[in-house]
């Protein structure tokens, strides 16, 4: 992590960045969403929005893990928070499909031999869940942009929330 400046008093200095990446496994999604809420709290995001930040970053990370799992990718999921005029969260995957495939064929090659891979119901729910993550994100986050996939990589979910005194209250 490379973010040590939490003192935002006296004007907006260089943006602060917290960046990390994690193996695309379900066990680490919780860590990502807890870090998100903590960094957002440090940044000064309103207390009433912290649950939203936690949920949204968790959904975006879940989606990224599902996309990697579906493609059999063990590349890291990348997470970046930046604190400038707004609190910005970006979650980037490496899966080049627009959506997870609608059947479970790829799951047989899931790295790590996850026991769920052979579970048809679980695979079906995973596919369903990627759709639901986007529905939840769309309903939850006012400033949401999903970009990609492009030739260089997968998709990025970008979200932002207002910070006090930034002059950009709800939208941008």
Query: Residues in the site for another protein, rule: CB under 8 A?
Result: 26-27, 29-30, 51, 54-55, 58-59, 62, 65-66, 116, 121-122, 124-126, 128-129, 132-133, 135-136, 139-140
Cβ 97 to another protein shortest distance, Å: 18
CB atoms within 10 A of CB 100: 23
CA end-to-end span of the chain: 27
Residue 124 beta carbon to another protein: minimum distance, rounded to whole angstroms: 7
> C-alpha distances in angstroms, 89 versus 61, 98, 119?
11, 20, 33
How near is the Cβ of 83 to another protein at its closest, in Å?
24
Between residues 43 and 60, which has the closer beta carbon with respect to another protein?
60
* Integer Rg of the chain from CA: 17
Q: Where are the beta strands (DSSP E) in the chain?
A: 16-22, 77-83, 86-92, 143-147, 156-162
Residue closer to another protein by CB (options 142, 150) is 142
In the complex, minimum distance from the CB of residue 131 to another protein, in angstroms, rounded to a whole number: 9
């Amino acid at each position: 992590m490379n973010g040590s400046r939490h003192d935002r008093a006296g004007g907006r200095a260089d943006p602060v960045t917290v960046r990390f990446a994690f193996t695309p496994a379900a066990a680490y999604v919780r860590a990502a969403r807890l870090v998100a809420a903590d960094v957002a709290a440090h940044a000064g995001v309103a207390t009433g929005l912290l649950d939203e930040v936690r949920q949204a970053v968790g959904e975006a990370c879940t989606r990224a893990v599902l996309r990697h799992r579906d493609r059999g990718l063990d590349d890291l999921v990348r997470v970046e928070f930046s604190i400038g005029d707004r609190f910005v969260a970006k979650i980037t995957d490496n899966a080049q499909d627009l959506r997870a495939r609608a059947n479970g064929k790829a799951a047989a090659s899931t790295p790590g031999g996850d026991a769920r891979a052979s579970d048809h119901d679980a695979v079906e729910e995973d596919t369903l869940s990627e759709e639901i993550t986007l529905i939840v994100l769309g309903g939850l986050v006012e400033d949401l942009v999903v970009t990609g996939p492009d030739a260089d990589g997968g998709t990025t979910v970008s979200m932002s929330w207002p910070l006090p005194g930034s002059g950009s209250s709800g939208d941008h």
